[in-house]
Amino acid sequence: MKEYTYLAGAIVTEVIGTSALKLSNGFEHAALGGLAIALYVVSFYFVSQALTFLPVGLVYATWSAVGIVGLAAIGIVFFDETVDLAAVVGFVLVIAGVVLLNVYSSAYNPV
């Protein structure tokens, strides 16, 4: 299960890093921009560790998809961003794809 701990760490640090980047306002607030860079470095470290255990397609699909949906939620809650029905359907499909890969794909989960 440590492979998924690494993957979760990659997702969390990437989402927080991207949120810090948004708050940096184009690096107008250098400390937040620096925090974003540092968190991206940590995120890539966690991804590299997850890749030692899991297939690259599974890692990247999960990392990017959960990050996309997580950041969209943060955008809605903290940055007053809006989404329409098409975006919500898209997010649901992205998550459904990740669930299919992680739970049901025999290519990524051999028996």
Q: Can you give the pLDDT of all 111 residues of the chain as single tens digits?
A: 899 999 999 999 999 999 999 999 999 999 999 999 999 999 999 999 999 999 999 999 999 999 999 999 999 999 999 999 999 999 999 999 999 998 988 877 654
pLDDT reported for residue 40: 99
Provide CB contacts within 8 A for 102, sequence distance 6+. 58, 62, 108, 109
The alpha helices in the chain, defined as continuous H runs, are: 2-23, 30-50, 56-78, 85-99
